[in-house]
Structures are given as C-alpha cells and as structure tokens.
Amino acid sequence: MNILVSGGAGYIGSVMTRQLLNVGHTVNVYDNLSTGHADSVDPRAVLVKGDLSDQNKLAAELRNHHTDAVMHFAGVISMAESMENPGKYFQINTGNSRNLLEAMREEHVGFIIFSSTAGVYGDPEKLPIPEDHPYRPTNPYGESKLMVEQILAWYDRIFDMKYLSLRYFNAAGASLDGKLGEQHPDETHLIPLAIKSARDNTPLTLFGDDYPTPDGTCVRDYIHVEDLCRAHLLALDSLANNKKSAIYNVGTGTGHSNKEVLSEIERVSGKKINVHTAKRRPGDASELVADASKIKNELGWKPEYSDLDTIVKTAWDFHQSHQPSHALR
C-alpha cells in the first residue's frame, strides 16, 4: 500500500515509517520539520516538507503518490503547554486534522489511522481504563484529540471514511538499534529529561509528590515505541481487510510511578538523579493505566519490549549516542 505518514520525521512517526517500509509498504512522509528531523526519515521514504494547514498541498501529495491510507501522527503533545496556550492545540491538533480529512475526502482516500491519547479519559473512575470509559479530559491537549475522534466518527458516517483511533498511553523508549528516539526541541517527557539529568548531573523537576498513589507520584502505563508502531501495522491490516472503524487503547496494563521510573534510570545509568519536587502541573491525571484487552483480542497485538528495563535501556543508549541534542536542554 502507499501510505502517507503525517509527522513522519518525528519520534513515533520515524519508527513507524521504517516499520512500514520493512514490510513492503511505500511511504510518503509529510512533515513541516518544526519539531521533526529530516535525518530521522528512512532514506527509502519520500520526504515532503509541508504543513497540514495547507490543504491544497496535502491534496496534491495524496494524489501524486496515489495514497491508499494515512497514518496521522503530526500534532502538538504537551499537556502542560495546552493549559497555557489552548488555542494552539485546537488549531494544530483539531483544525489541521480537519484539513487532512478534507484533503483525503477530495482525493478519495478512505482509510486513516489516528494517533490519539489516553488523555481523553481524564482522571479515571476505574483502572485499568477500558475504551468505553467516560470522556472527561483534564486539559486542552486531551480535548483536542477527542474532538478529532468525534470528527472522524462523522466522516465515517457521512463519507464512509474508515478509521482506527489508537489511544496511546505513554510512548517511551527508542528503536532497538539505537538510531531513532525522542528528540523534542522542548522536551516535557519524564524519561528523556531524567536521562539528561543523570548524564549531565543537572537538576530534574518532579511535579507533585502528593497524588493519591502508593508513593505520591503520578502513575503511567509506558509502551515501547516499537510495540506501539507494531500496533499500527496490525491496525492498517485490519482497516484494509475489514473496512471497519474502531477505537483501541494501546498500553500494557501495568503502571509505573514517576519515582519507579527515576529509580530504573539510576540503575541503568549508574548515576544519581538530583530531584527537586515542585507543585503539581495543572491538568495532570493521577493514574493512567490501559485495559488493552480489546486490541489484543481483536488484532492479536501484544507488547514485546515494554518492560521498564528495555524502555529505559533503549532510551539511555539512544541519548548516549546522540549527544549533544537540542532536545535535551
């Protein structure tokens, strides 16, 4: 199949591009390179620099590459920033996704896999969280993704555009060969920030130690990026074969607290992290752990590399071989 990968120069998109190519798909990466990296794009793919706000260019790329399906990763991802600048999130995540869907409709591209988030659930009523859990995002980031899911449902209903929405829990780790990993220009994720602190002996700010969790810090379900992308491959096969829209959680069903993650980074690195505790960030949920039984049962997916040791070790190896990086301030 000919696949357009929006945001394919980014962290998850670059790993996804390589996996798609390895199983025989043709890939056209569409990325504005505002946070992505051209050198992260597999040379077997076609890289087009473009913005999702440019609907005409999007339509032309879909048409010129005879696109069969879209994997949509492009967007902004900081929950904290979304509380300070919500308009940015509704414009880029929601508005630009609408542009993409309109371009797809214009060019008769009928399949899309959407990069969604567990942030649509907010603070959960029960754990692990199933897909039919009530939606109550605690920040505009989660709301902006939920709005896209709602738009997708209408495009399916009206235009028969089939979609799979994959609700990520915490994507983490780096590619197994150490070549691809997190390189965000303004990093907000715990693992790369903690690795930077351990490597450079600089302070790390831990936001909140008074959550209603066993050690007082947030608990998250970490999913290795290779496992996450494997879920997308299975999702693509399902769309092509079954032509049925669906929503799936992608997580392990096991949560790790921030303190557990920091302890594992200290163990892998052999270095002590200088932790400073600050008050909670607005919009952070206490605990997010997936019920991933649906994707396991329906698509046959199972995580292979998402134990905390593998996640931290691959991330550590990547950042050790990619220093200095502008993403690790």
Q: 168 catalytic, yes or no?
A: no
Nearest to 152 by CA among 140, 164, 135: 164
Nearest to 214 by CA among 308, 286, 285, 275: 286
Cα separation, 136 vs 55, in Å, equals 30
Determine how many CB atoms are found less than 10 A away from the CB of residue 244: 12
DSSP per-residue letters across 28-69:
EEEE--SSS-GGGS-TTSEEEE--TT-HHHHHHHHHHTT--E
Instruction: Please identify which of the residues 11, 121, 141, 163 carries the catalytic annotation.
Output: 141
Nearest to 185 by CA among 308, 306, 11: 11
| Residue whose structure tokens are 């220093």 | 323
Report the catalytic residues: 141
